[in-house]
Amino acid sequence: MRTFLDRLYLFAGFAAGAFLVTIFVLMMLLSAGRPVGFNIPAGDDLVSWCMVATSFLGLAHTFRHGEMIRVGLLIDRLEGRTRHYVEIVALGLGSFFVGFFTYYAVMLTYDSWRFHDMSQGVLVVPLWLPQLGFSGGLLILFIAFVDEFIHVLRGNIPRYEKPKPQTAEEVVEQAIQSGV
């Protein structure tokens, strides 16, 4: 099961990357094509749908690798059992809210499919197709949250926790990697 979940998160990360490359290619074609009269009908719609898919499909992979924005002002000051319990509460609350949003995103996509909603614009497609990136990404993030919640509930340290830097070089390296 662990291998399946890790591959699911990795697949979602690769899918987000593929949509990001698609955005790049479309934007370059749109930009370079305008001066020479080449146009991609609904290119802006395609780019916006790819942006949504990139954003939401990348969430679980980002979460699992500890790259999601996290305010550690409180929890970084705690140690031992207290920190563990606060971590459980935070993951429980996170799972609840992500589950809430996931439910409504999936229902939105389902309703779009059920009512045959179509996109409005130059390119008319069933609206549930671009919504799959949104609802699917949230569903995978929800699975990642519940997975991590169960892992921490069993007494383990969170997998998204990065070890604290021990040397000045490690502090600089973490700052460079985080984009600070």
CA nearest to 47, candidates 175, 133, 141: 133
Q: What are phi and psi of 170, to 5 degrees?
A: -65, -35
For residue 170, pLDDT over 90 is answered with no
Continuous H helices in the chain? 2-33, 43-64, 80-114, 128-153, 168-178
**Of 11-15, 46-50, 159-163, which gets the smallest average pLDDT?**
159-163
Kindly state the average pLDDT of the residues 161-174. 77
Q: Of the spans 25-29, 58-62, 101-105, which averages the highest pLDDT?
A: 101-105
pTM over 0.95: no
Q: What is the pLDDT of residue 67?
A: 75
For residue 178, pLDDT over 70 is answered with no
